[in-house]
Amino acid sequence: MQEQQLKKYKTDLERERGLLLVEIKQDEKPTDFGSDVDHFEEKTDETEDLSNRLVAAQDLKNRLDEIDVALSKIRSGKYGMCEKCGDRIGGDVLDIAPESRLCKNCKE
């Protein structure tokens, strides 16, 4: 892989990582629902909102983990290699998802 391409993927991954950290922090902030719950339905809505936000935060953390793995591979010189078959991951895949761990054939 060319140095310029590698640098672009690294920049993209670092930018995405920063955005994810901000979003995770926002999703994990407890919402002040107040104590004026007059109806059972309001309490249910509040609980559902909190649950949805926690699930979303976990999904973002999983994506963050994938990005961290990709950045680690860049540092170790192993970036762009399929974890399943060992072949190179094509630029068409990395351009869409630079955190990809599998080549196109192994993803299918």
Query: Between 41 and 57, where is the model more confident?
Result: 57
Write the burial class of residue 2 (CB in 10 Å: 0-12 exposed, 13-18 middle, 19+ buried). Answer: exposed
> 93 near 103, Cβ under 8 Å?
yes
The overall average pLDDT reported for the chain is 88
Where do the domains of the chain lie?
3-28+39-79
Residue 2, pLDDT > 80, answer yes
Residue 73, class by beta-carbon neighbours within 10 Å (0-12 exposed, 13-18 middle, 19+ buried)?
A: middle
pLDDT digits (tens, 9 = 90+) for 56-94: 889 999 999 999 999 999 999 999 999 999 999 999 999
- The residue-averaged pLDDT of 19-42 equals 72
Average pLDDT over residues 12-32: 87
- How much is the pTM? 0.79
